[in-house]
Structure 1
Amino acid sequence: MGQQASKPEPGKTVQVIGAGLPRTGTASFSQALAILLDGPVYHGGTQTTIGPETNVLSWIDILNRAPVRSEADRKYIDETLRKVTAGYVGLTDTPNHCFVEELMDIYPDAKVICTVRNPDSWAVSIDKLSNTVTKGTNRFLRFALFLVPGLRYFHDYIDLLNAGRWGELYGPPDEGKVYIHGRAVWDRHMEYLHRVVPKAKLIFFDVRGGWEPLCKALDVPVPQDIEFPRINDAEATETFAKAQVRKGLLRWAVALGAAAVMAVGTIPAVRLFE
């Protein structure tokens, strides 16, 4: 997860569609793209949680129509995706990697780059992320985050993602469940990419390789005297989650305190001395 939300810039257009799953170095990848392409990058996990509330609401609208059931759904998804991603040079992380096919139609000249790591270690990491997300959708945390813009809709967003496009791609209906995590997600994501992305267009990138392989893929010079960004996605997500819960509880404390003061102010004055 990135450290702060990116802001779109007029005139910028998407040059890279990040097709990598979460926990594959997407935060480092995002910052690297921002440096190389000189523009803002839309990191899905960051934008849907601490970006303007319109981000998560737009994705909720999109996910309400995926899987696609009609031509009207398809048209709505394309139009909304175009609006959400306008002004960025790159798109990474969830839910972007679930809409690679649609994004290629919108940005036919963009490169498709899938960040990768060891699939088995990824499965362990995504299991931990799944536990964090599950905790984030329990009743207490729904209450705690209700006063935090964007995050108040987080459980709705996750529910729709799992029941919709994520489940469509990674949890076939005949198995009777949605695979939120596990090696099966990795394998099915790779199958999805090989099915929808032309072989010559699909690029795989391991962030441990640093600047050179990424610059070669983008046909840009290697930055001089700039270290490749190294962000631990797992630590960043955990730190972010704890900070947002504290923020939410503090806002509730302030709101309830203010309500108590107002309530006391409405009590009729009592004559202590007569």
Structure 2
Amino acid sequence: MTRQRSHAASPGGFMAALWASEPSSASARLLAAKLAGFRGNRRQSRTWLATNSVYLKVIGAGFGRTGTTSLKTALGILGFPCYHMREVIKNQDSQNWIDAKLGKPDWDRIFDGYTATVDHPSTDFYKDLMVRYPDAKIILTVRDPEKWYKSASDTIFAIPTPPFYFHLFPFCYLPGISTMIKFDRMLNVVIYAPNATFKGAHKDKEAIKRVFSEHIESVKQHVPPSKLLVFSVSEGWEPLCKFLEVPVPNVPFPRVNDTAEFNHHVQFRVRLIRNVNFVMGSTTIALLAYAGYYVWKQYA
């Protein structure tokens, strides 16, 4: 679903997008009808939009590598456009998430165009999102801790991070590359740092497994049972659709983003960082060799 960040300034455009977007739900039509009543008062329409145009119905509280991409796809099939880690890059939202970690969130800006969110970084803020969207239902995706660690260590934990000298290369300021660098900063600030979700423990197998298990128990304790679905994607459509009160679709439950597929998506990033490390390392060795040769010639 294409995001339309300018809708709040143009109620007519927002209405057209609502009627044209999917799903063509009763709630979307009700919103469009409400806006139609505000046509004669632009200030009133903008005020109403500011507080009602973005509303999450589903909040995912499970860590990445617990089937969150499959769940995102499933929610889309059920009519819930879903935000995911991939949208952070697509929508260039890294700074918005850093701001949220620093206590300055703009949730309606981030989730404009979505009615659901799963995966990091939103799962790291599920408590805050429950306050902002109190009627949303919470889905906690779970997995055996050992299998989760194996999947995470083969994928998200295995991706190299850009070295501190990465910004010295002029091409790093190209739009796509600079977006990646901002994304890496967001990952560290929101997820990997000692004061973030993984508590700096992702390089210690037993410690990160404890973080994973403690997070699951924390969610179960914090979320009222009536609003919580503890869900394994291996369970398929039935418990998910019952929880969301929607019909079971006549299609197989999606199974996407396994280890091989994930690594295929990130191979450009991995090659880029490794090549930069090789070039910088080779350049450093060459300069040191030349400096040594120069000194030797001066004093030989």
Instruction: Provide TM-score, normalisation by structure 2.
Output: 0.65
Deviation at 1:33, TM superposition (A): 0.4
Deviation at 1:187, TM superposition (A): 1.4
Deviations 1:66-91 (A, max 9, x none): xxxxxxx3xx23xx123211321110
**Hey, what does 2:187 align to over in structure 1?**
158
Secondary structure (helix, strand or coil) at the match of 1:14 reads coil
From 24, 30, 40, give the equivalent of 2:81: 40
Tell me, which stretches of 5 or more residues in structure 2 are unaligned?
A: 5-16, 19-52, 275-300
Deviation at 1:247, TM superposition (A): 8.2
Secondary structure (helix, strand or coil) at the match of 2:195 reads helix
Q: Measured at CA, do residues 232 and 109 of structure 1 come closer, stay the same or move farther in structure 2, by a change above 3 Å?
A: same
**Hey, what does 2:227 align to over in structure 1?**
201
**What CA distance in whole angstroms lies between the structure 2 residues aligned with 1:146 and 1:180?**
29
Tell me, which stretches of 5 or more residues in structure 1 are unaligned?
A: 66-72, 172-177, 250-274
**What CA distance in whole angstroms lies between the structure 2 residues aligned with 1:247 and 1:168?**
27
**What CA distance in whole angstroms lies between the structure 2 residues aligned with 1:13 and 1:35?**
18
Q: Measured at CA, do residues 141 and 242 of structure 1 come closer, stay the same or move farther in structure 2, by a change above 3 Å?
A: farther
Alignment of 1:15-164 (within 5 A): 15-36=57-78, 38-43=79-84, 45-49=85-89, 51-53=90-92, 55-63=93-101, 65=102, 73=103, 76-77=104-105, 80-133=106-159, 135-138=160-163, 146-147=173-174, 148=176, 150-162=179-191
State the structure with more CA Rg. 2
Alignment of 1:168-207 (within 5 A): 168-171=196-199, 178-180=200-202, 182-207=208-233
For the 8 Å contact 1:170–1:188, the answer to whether it is kept is no
**Hey, what does 2:243 align to over in structure 1?**
217
Q: Percent identity?
A: 32
For the 8 Å contact 1:40–1:89, the answer to whether it is kept is yes
Q: Measured at CA, do residues 230 and 40 of structure 1 come closer, stay the same or move farther in structure 2, by a change above 3 Å?
A: same
Amino acid across the alignment from 1:59? W
For the 8 Å contact 1:6–1:41, the answer to whether it is kept is no
Amino acid across the alignment from 1:213? P
**Hey, what does 2:31 align to over in structure 1?**
none
Amino acid across the alignment from 2:266? A
Secondary structure (helix, strand or coil) at the match of 1:204 reads strand
**Hey, what does 2:262 align to over in structure 1?**
237
**What CA distance in whole angstroms lies between the structure 1 residues aligned with 2:215 and 2:172?**
31
Query: Of the two structures, which has the highest relative contact order with CA contacts closer than 8 Å and spacing of 6 or more?
Result: 1
Q: Measured at CA, do residues 129 and 6 of structure 1 come closer, stay the same or move farther in structure 2, by a change above 3 Å?
A: farther
For the 8 Å contact 1:48–1:150, the answer to whether it is kept is no
Deviation at 1:39, TM superposition (A): 4.0
**What CA distance in whole angstroms lies between the structure 2 residues aligned with 1:168 and 1:39?**
28
Matched, 1:167 2:171: no
Aligned residues: 221
